[in-house]
Amino acid sequence: MSAHAMEEMAEDLLTIEDIEAAVLSGRVSRIEKDDPRGTRYTIEGVAMDRQTPVGVVGRFASSGIYLVITVYEVTEFEG
């Protein structure tokens, strides 16, 4: 998880568990291939409380690990 993602997580009062729950319960809502650093995937799911919609943006590193770039509370969620 990037430092930026950690800062955004704290600002939105989200926890690591909320991010994990969002990824596990969510779906890929957007794929952006125009970034020269690699394709970015946005996953939208719900936090541990099963109510708070969360967006998780990341990309796969060369090692195959999904690197979380940023997180945010989703304002318009189609869950």
In this prediction the pTM is 0.88
Compute the average pLDDT of residues 59-68: 93
Tens of pLDDT along 4-18?
A: 999 999 999 999 999
Q: 67, exposed or middle or buried, with CB in 10 Å at 0-12, 13-18, 19+?
A: middle
